Amino acid sequence: MQQPKTVVYDLLTTYTSKPADQLRPGDRLVSDLKLDGDDYAFGIVATLKRRFGIHPVVTDWESVHTVADLVQLVEEHVQKQRTKAF
């Protein structure tokens, strides 16, 4: 399975056309990367949920503002999924 950070960066590259090596943890999804709300909700969030089998509550997704926030949220929920599996 790919690492959450890699998948997040790949998705952001797809939706923003910004190369992964130019993405920075502090980049804000809306104001810096110009990410559209629909792309976030129906593209990125949906893909991450499906890809990793995670189901954070809506308020968790809404609290994401930066690239680092998104990576952290996904990593935390992936870890919870792994812990449940054991």
Distances (CA, A) of 26 to 14, 31, 49, 62: 18, 11, 23, 17
CATH number at residue 9: 1.10.1200.10
The answer on pLDDT for 85 being more than 90 is: no
Question: Domain range holding 48?
Answer: 4-85
pTM above 0.85, yes or no: yes
Predicted local distance difference test score (pLDDT) of residue 81: 84
Predicted local distance difference test score (pLDDT) of residue 10: 96
Q: How many domains does the chain have?
A: 1
